């Protein structure tokens, strides 16, 4: 496989990260979970008492506690400064606050710069909301993954149960719908399908079927 860039965007819980990880592993590419970066800043804001809309304060946090990834056998570990926050960034309080933080222009500028830097070698699978439109507009392959809110809530519910996080199904569904709305209606880089992205609706598909479908798309593009 050539050293191409693969951008995977889509709404919350559409399966982006699971699929992106498998593709990166199969192609021996680097995987970058950009949502984890927005979650990491949000975690910092909540623990360091910085307001979720304090742009300058949030950027200062990122400068003081840089977000880094470490690859491990168990998956990607996330750090802010020296502190590991892999589990903390998945907790409900972070999830509920992340859309507000990720709507701040200065935060996006800072993280997009970091993401572009991580991608400059190519051989990358990056997932998020604005990868195909803003972060890697030249990506050779752009996928936009969607699924019904009902199915995404079911997937997240199962995932949470496995991680020992308790949440009510209806609450989860509402939270996903709310995050969809906020992420799609923010002013800066809203969640939107890039013109040259290929839409894959994963409702009713299992992970392996989605991976196969994306591999087919990549092959059809001649890579």
Interacting residues toward ligand DC by CB under 6 A: 12, 34-35, 38-39, 98-99, 102, 128-131, 179, 183
Residue 218: CB minimum distance to ligand DC, A: 21
Min dist CB 114 to ligand DC, Å, is: 11
Of 1 and 12, nearer to ligand DC (C-beta) is 12
Shortest distance (Å) from residue 96 CB to ligand DC: 10
Burial class (CB in 10 A: 0-12, 13-18, 19+), 189: buried
Instruction: Using the minimum distance from each CB to ligand DC, give the nearer residue, 1 or 70.
Output: 70
Nearer to ligand DC, 38 or 144 (CB): 38
Tokens for 149, please give them: 């809110």
Write the CA distances from 189 to 18, 135, 186, 197, integer angstroms.
Answer: 23, 10, 7, 16
- Tokens 């409702």 sit on residue: 203
Which CB sits closer to ligand DC, 15 or 218?
Answer: 15
What's the rounded Cα separation, in Å, for the pair 115 and 32?
A: 8
Least distance to ligand DC, CB of residue 208, Å: 21
Under 8 Å between Cβ of 23 and 29 = yes
């Amino acid at each position: 496989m050539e050293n191409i860039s693969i951008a995977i965007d889509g709404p919350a819980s559409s399966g982006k990260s699971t699929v992106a990880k498998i593709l990166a592993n199969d192609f021996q590419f680097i995987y970058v979970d950009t949502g984890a970066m927005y979650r990491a800043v949000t975690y910092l804001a909540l623990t360091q008492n910085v307001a979720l809309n304090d742009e300058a304060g949030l950027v200062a946090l990122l400068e003081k506690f840089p977000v880094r990834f470490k690859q491990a056998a168990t998956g990607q570990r996330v750090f802010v400064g020296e502190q590991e926050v892999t589990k903390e960034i998945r907790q409900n309080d972070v999830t509920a606050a992340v859309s507000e933080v990720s709507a701040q222009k200065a935060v996006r500028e800072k993280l997009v710069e970091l993401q572009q830097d991580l991608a400059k070698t190519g051989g990358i699978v990056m997932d998020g909301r604005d990868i195909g439109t803003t972060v890697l507009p030249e990506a050779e392959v752009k996928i936009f993954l969607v699924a019904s809110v009902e199915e995404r809530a079911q997937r997240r519910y199962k995932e949470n149960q496995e991680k020992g996080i308790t949440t009510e199904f209806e609450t989860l569904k509402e939270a996903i719908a709310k995050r969809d709305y906020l992420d799609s209606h923010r002013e800066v880089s809203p969640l939107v399908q890039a013109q040259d992205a290929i839409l894959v609706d994963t409702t009713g598909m299992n992970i392996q079927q989605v991976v196969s479908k994306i591999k087919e798309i990549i092959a059809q593009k001649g890579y």
